[in-house]
Amino acid sequence: MPVAVEIDNLVVRYGEKTAVDGLTLTVTGGTVTSVLGPNGAGKTTTVESCEGFRRPDSGQVRVLGLDPIADHDELMPRIGVMLQEGGAWSGVRALEMLRYVAGLHAHPLELPDLIERLDLGTCGRTPYRRLSGGQKQRLSLAMAIVGRPEIVFLDEPTTGLDPHGRREIWQLIRDLRDDGVTVVLTTHAMDEAEQLSDQVHVVSAGKLIASGTPDVLTEHGAKSLEDVYLALTAKPAKETR
Amino acid sequence: MSTTYAPQPGSAPWTRKVLSHARMEFRLLIRNGEQLLLALVIPLGLLLLLGGTGLGDRLPLGDGRAVDLAVPRVLALAVLSSSFTSLAIATGFERRYGVIKRLGASPLSRTGLLAGKIGSVLAIQVIQLAVLVGTGFALGWKPVGGASAVIGVVLMIVCGTAAFASLGLLMSGILRAEATLAAANLLYLLLLVGGGLMTPVDEYPAGMQSVVRLLPSAALANGLANSTIEGVIPWAAALSLALWSALLAYLVSRTFRWD
């Protein structure tokens, strides 16, 4: 399978703080790949480097063979991005926003099907600021995929959803992958990563500390991914007298 | 093989994206009471006060009939409110709400975003112009110069919009949303009183005149006044605004960011 994302020795600093510290990883096309890590590990900065929002201090990022900053206008129609929060005018109505984003693309998805699948019909005329957390998440996901992208970056896509909603989104992510869309997922939900991922990358302190399929990382189901993750990212024990 | 979500990426044509964005910003603006207050209610109220009550005869608007002096200066204020104050505040909060970031990860492109914003401002200005010019005529406004005056007014509105929209975008790009809100309103008031907007530069104290004359607000207001009171095309004011536009647009291009 082709490489969809190639990150080579990426370093991103915010002033004195190094958020990403020599990270190297690849994402294979047509897979669901999860990037896991504690808060502040550099996950969002890594993904935002792929989306063209962060300029690497050193190293290289290639998405679909393109530089996210130098080739911004060529790359953006080909990717979908779900932000962790926000991303819409406070007074815009839900479906008005979705139609607007769809209109920026050449071959958007059929909106009635998408609206039904993500259950956006009942809140279609509701201003964005009055949507529930779950409705905002579903609208944000709809905006990420409406342009028929080759790759979607989903930042904590099921935060704020009830269990039914989570399962629906999981199935949608599987359907995207089955239809040939590459999905890059950042999440704190280990069950989500274990259920959905073909490949998992664990990031800590800006570095890649483990990679593999969920099956390999969990030693063929002998451990849960959460246990593996907790062991990998455990803080060093404090010395006691 | 299912084709429901099969990738078929592509960008809509540039003009469609720009029109779509301009329509969206226009719709959101006319739903927003505060923005309408700035764009229409304040300039209209000022025009009625200055041109319809006799108050204009008591204020230093220059020599001539109050309504003839008030209309071009209120038009300048309207351009300032829509292209600068309104645009800066709206863009500041778009940044706060993640809209700019969202659009940065869409096919819109930077030029598309800026063109769409200018398109929305120009659409608002058509309404401002219709309301204020219509009210001016109802109050007895008698512009001179015919076609030259029309060309002069359009030239000033285009050049003034370019300069003040650039200033608004610059401000919203480097300040937080709340700071943009405060600074844009403050500058609006300062220029209204001290920027040669409502009062001709010659009415200012001698020590201030040379500074006020250089401000884009003075160039815009004096250019509009020269167009409709003397019937000339104000090339010098246009050049001043073009230079301001070039400088501010350069700074916008250096400071623009998608998040």
Reported confidence tier of residue A237, pLDDT bands at 50, 70, 90: low
Residue A107 maps to which CATH number?
3.40.50.300
Average pLDDT on A174-178 reads 97
- Please indicate, yes or no, if residue A196 is contained in any of the structural domains: yes
Q: Can you read off the two tokens belonging to residue A111?
A: 């909106």
B7, part of any domain: no
Backbone angles phi, psi at A123, to 5 degrees: -115, 20
Residue B240 corresponds to which tokens in the numbers above? 């001043």
Instruction: Give pLDDT, residue B223.
Output: 96
Summarize pLDDT for B146-176 with one digit per residue, the tens: 899 999 999 999 999 999 999 999 999 999 9
Domain-located, residue A133 = yes
How do residues B29-68 score in pLDDT, each as one tens digit?
A: 999 888 888 899 999 999 999 998 888 888 888 888 999 9
A241 within some domain: no
Residue A155 is part of which domain span? 3-232
Task: Decide: helix, strand or coil at residue B224.
Answer: helix
Name the stretches of chain B with pLDDT < 50: 1-2
Cα–Cα nearest to B85, from B201, B195, B177, B165? B165
Owning domain of residue B242: 14-255
| Closest CB from B5, B20, B107 relative to A179 | B5
Q: Does B209 touch chain A (CB under 8 A)?
A: no
* B223, part of any domain: yes
Q: Does residue A58 surpass a pLDDT of 80?
A: yes
In-domain check, residue B91: yes
- Separation in Å, CA A98 to CA A80, A101, A154, B14: 13, 5, 17, 19
Q: Report the alpha-carbon distance of residue B105 to residue B110 in Å, rounded.
A: 11
What is the reported pTM? 0.90
Contact A105 B10 (CB under 8 A): yes
Q: B67, B69, B78: which is closest to B38 by C-alpha?
A: B78
Tokens of B157: 């509105």
Q: Which residues of B touch A143 (CB under 8 A)?
A: 102
Whether the ipTM is more than 0.85: the answer is yes
Residues of A in Cβ contact (< 8 Å) with B106: 76, 101, 104, 147
Angle at A228 between CA A234 and CA A41, to 5 degrees: 50
Number of domains within chain A: 1
- Note whether residue B79 is domain-resident: yes
Q: Mind telling me how many Å the CA of A11 is from chain B's nearest CA?
A: 19
Q: How many domains does chain B have?
A: 1
Which of A69, A72, A148 has the highest number of chain B CBs within 10 A, making it the mutation to test binding with B?
Answer: A148
- B124 part of a folded domain: yes
Instruction: List the structure tokens of A101.
Output: 């984003």
